[in-house]
Chains A and B, each alone.
Chain A
Amino acid sequence: MDHLDVLADAAENLYPARMQMALSLGWHIVFACFGIAFPLITVVTEWRGHRRGDAELLGLARTWAKAMGILFAAGAVSGTLLSFEMGILWPGLMDRFGEVYGFPFVLEGFAFFIEAIFVGVYLFGWDRLSPRAHVLSAVPMIVSGMAGAFFVVAANAWMNNPTGFRLDAQGRVVDAQPWAAMFGPSTWPQVVHMLLAAYMVTGFTVASVYAVGVLRGRRERRHRLGLVIPLAFAAAVTPVQIGVGDWIANTVADNQPVKLAAMEGQYETTAGAPLSIGGWYSDGEMRGALEIPNGLSLLVHHDPDGVVLGLEEVPPDERPPVNVVHLAFDTMVGLGSALLLLAVWCGWAWWRRRRLPGSRWFLRAVAASGVAAVVAMEAGWVVTEVGRQPWVVYGLLRTADAVSPAPGLWLGFYGVLAVYTVLTALTVYVLRRLASRPGTSAPQEVDAEPPDRGTGQVALR
């Protein structure tokens, strides 16, 4: 194959490869959130159930444990595909920098291994371990879920802010320091932001399922508990998340000024830059945006006259697609603020009346909060990933140079699209069944219900 051929193929592959990566990650991350946050919510419920001898709490925890098992299975298979894709789609990235930033993935492998083991133990051991041993068996699951998230997000943070190595004159990596690479400037803000996002996504989503149930007339105590407990977790972390959002925005301003400029559609380097909300960027200008004077400078420098770098600082071919990044950012911040209002509403009602508001509007808001949290989280990832373009490793390696030139690679996108369509449909179907019939088995459990269809078929499983 001659050189030109290779280039042609790589160019043809770039767009579908990105779409494939975005689809797989965007899918995986939703399930990952449940893998991170659902264990704690479930175990706290189980623990309180044991402490108070409350069968309804225990029943609720058991249903959630099963849902967790189903979501975990979906997360695990989608994660497997991701580890293939990192190499199949982006060999230029792995080849050149694998030795620097592959390391957190090794640790992540251990974390997920432990998590998979203890999800198995937790579900399998439900009636087989003593309550104490059972609650304790969940601790490794909680810790390793969070640790796994740390390692993966640390790898992503490295792509945003590569550290921990030197390049020689030919641009080859020398002196890789994988431990140092794991703790770059973006790591902590990104990890904390992601962990909180996982709690918000899980808490609001689970609560929203029960809110829909209450709206449809279900009034049992179990149903109310199913609404209150996850909502309490989510509402408690939401205000913190907004603070962390400020922290991460500052980190971006310091280390990735072009991404920040794209987030705000800021073309010129300006002192006292305004905060733009909404609008459309074209030809170096934000049109139709609601502008808060000096807002951006105030936000990122905590000084109304701080200087904010604009897109003009870099040549056009080093600028990300501004509108995607800007609108995704507004979506995240907008939904985050809306969820904050909901959290405040909960907190206020609890403080004044020791119970949640019962109005239908409140229930409707909770019902919508699950979708809102997921969309905010996805939007955040779009800001991070698209805002880094055209770089896959910020400032060092272009995405176009990382993609595999293998012929026919782009077909994989359609395969992934088809596979995930089916997988989504199945997951939704199974979770809905679990909601209507708590007896439904989780994948890690041993005993399955026999299929329905009259007595002649009982032997079939």
Chain B
Amino acid sequence: MTLAEVVLAVMFVGLVAYGLFGGADFGAGIWDLLAGGTRRGARQRELIEHSIAPVWEANHVWLIFVLVVLWTAFSGAFAAVVTTLYVPLTLAAFGMIARGAAFAFRKSTTTLGMRRALGAAFAFSSLATPYFLGSVVGAVASGRVPAGIAAGDVVTSWVNPTSALGGVLAVLVCAYLAAVFLCADARREGAEDLVRQFRARALGTAAVTGAVGLAGLFVLRADAPLLFDGLTGRAAPVVVLSVVAGVAALGLLWTRRYGAARAASALAVTAILVGWAVAQYPYVLVPEVTIEEAAVGRSTLVAMLVALGAGAVVLVPSLVYLYVLFQRAPTGTAAHPGS
């Protein structure tokens, strides 16, 4: 592995973390949207709220991390991507603002009307934001971002079959992950009826995601042949791993082993992302700019690696502490409706 590849790989770890943690976070918002009327959905919303309140901010810093590593180590490619795709990126950023602000402030208001309005903003932006981010991935993966500042088409680069597929898949994957994660959270809080509901949803979204994924292969064959070749060629083992892990997760959900189902689902999603990376290798911007061409000078890359290593030493224990503290201290209120 070259130095540039190592830096890119570290960035990719951040991207996977964002996909998993941020994804589950978005997905929780999607279930909030679909939880039903104010009264009927109240307990589900409460569980969702409990599950993400202490971690939602940290979950989203992963994205910042991805951005800053890209702009420092792959400055030119970064500039090309964000300028060509500035529309979905701006919309995604607005979505994140709406989502964060609505989630944060919903709790601090008590008038029903305000809470409903903020709840709606939270839920809709949870749906829209992953769609836009997925369409950005679709745009990059299908080679619609040429090198150079704003050199691509600002509309068709992200309004096209592969981007639509990317967006829809992103939404589904988020919803699926959240449902699986919430099963275990609901069980920890002792709310068996909620466990049943989220289990059914997890199984349902898994089926839909699988179907869309399969159909997607045909879309890719027609719309992004290079990516299709990569996925069915070099990346085939990773894609197979993803399918196997996905099927295993289904089995674990079926047999109600939610902890293990979490791990299997996370593996399946990670494998999808890694599959994309392997299929696209060695290009950063398909089919023009390779990793080596896009990388900046050596001393910056070295400085990056030092910083990333030292940062990880501080960051990882802190994150673990946050999640442990949070998991260790069940609040129990979800089990008592009306509390």
Contact = CB atoms under 8 A, between A and B. Distances in A.
Nearest to B302: A178
A116 B61 contact: yes
Contacts of B287: none
B249 to A, nearest CB: 28
Nearest to A92: B149
Given A109-B68, A451-B112, A81 B50 contact: no
B45 interface: yes
B78 A120 contact: no
Nearest to B100: A77
Interface stretch (B161-169, B197-205, B315-323): B315-323
B154 to A, nearest CB: 6
Interface stretch (A94-102, A261-269, A304-312): A94-102
B90 A404 contact: no
B73 interface: yes
Contact of A84 (B93, B109, B303, B326): B93
Interface centre among B72, B106, B108 (most CB of A within 10 A): B108
A106 interface: yes
Interface in B93-139: 93-94, 96-98, 100-101, 103-112, 115
Nearest to A86: B71
Contacts of A6: 150
A105 B82 CA distance: 17
B57 to A, nearest CB: 4
B322 A117 contact: yes
A392 to B, nearest CB: 14
Interface string A88-119: 10011011111110110111111011101111
Interface in A419-445: 419, 423, 426-427, 429-430, 433-434, 440-445
Contacts of B50: 446
A415 B98 CA distance: 12
Interface string B44-82: 011001100111011011011101110111011011101
A72 B110 CA distance: 21
A448 interface: yes
A430 B108 contact: yes
Given A99-B73, A106-B69, A109-B65, A406 B108 contact: no
Interface stretch (B208-216, B238-246, B274-282, B331-339): B331-339
B154 A106 contact: no
B110 A450 contact: yes
Contacts of A364: none
A113 B315 contact: yes
A78 B315 contact: no
Contacts of B314: 110, 114
Interface stretch (B226-234, B257-265, B293-301): B293-301
Interface centre among A94, A114, A125 (most CB of B within 10 A): A94
A102 B105 contact: no
B59 to A, nearest CB: 9
A215 interface: no
Interface centre among B68, B94, B338 (most CB of A within 10 A): B68
A88 B90 contact: yes
B42 interface: yes
Q: Interface size class for chain A?
A: 35 or more
Interface stretch (A216-224, A318-326, A330-338, A453-461): A453-461
Contacts of A100: 300
B54 A120 contact: yes
A459 B314 CA distance: 41
A79 B65 CA distance: 12
A2 interface: no
Interface centre among B60, B79, B100 (most CB of A within 10 A): B79
A119 B53 CA distance: 12
A176 B304 contact: no
B97 A95 contact: no
Contacts of B80: 91
Contacts of A109: 61, 64-65, 68-69
Contact of A107 (B149, B300, B307): B307
A70 B80 CA distance: 35
Contacts of A358: none
Contact of B42 (A83, A176, A460): A460
Contacts of B311: 106-107, 110
Contacts of A365: none
A120 B255 CA distance: 34
Contacts of A347: none
Contact of A458 (B83, B111, B338): B338
Interface centre among B308, B325, B331 (most CB of A within 10 A): B325
Contact of B108 (A87, A117, A118, A440): A440
B331 A444 contact: no
B79 A91 contact: yes
B303 A178 contact: yes
Contacts of B79: 87, 91-92, 94-95, 98
B89 interface: yes
A219 B86 CA distance: 53
Given A98-B79, A404-B149, A108 B68 contact: yes
A131 interface: no
A412 interface: yes
B22 to A, nearest CB: 11
A426 B151 CA distance: 38
Contacts of A128: 325, 329
A124 B330 CA distance: 12
Given A406-B83, A446-B331, A460-B112, A102 B71 contact: yes
Contacts of A461: 42, 45-46, 49
A432 B309 CA distance: 43
A147 to B, nearest CB: 10
A433 B149 CA distance: 46
A427 B109 CA distance: 11
A174 B296 CA distance: 9
Given A91-B82, A106-B68, A415-B90, A426 B75 contact: no
B108 A70 contact: yes
A303 interface: no
Given A73-B104, A91-B150, A442-B108, 5 more contacts: A81-B96, A92-B149, A98-B79, A117-B321, A441-B108
Listed from nearest, the 3 A-B pairs whose CB atoms lie closest are A102-B72, A98-B75, A443-B104
10 contacts: A77-B100, A80-B60, A84-B90, A86-B71, A96-B75, A113-B315, A116-B61, A128-B329, A442-B107, A443-B108
Interface of B: 38-39, 42-43, 45-46, 49-50, 53-55, 57-58, 60-61, 63-65, 67-69, 71-73, 75-76, 78-80, 82-84, 86-87, 89-90, 92-94, 96-98, 100-101, 103-112, 115, 149-150, 154, 296-297, 299-300, 303-304, 307-308, 311, 314-315, 318-319, 321-322, 325-326, 329, 331, 333, 337-338
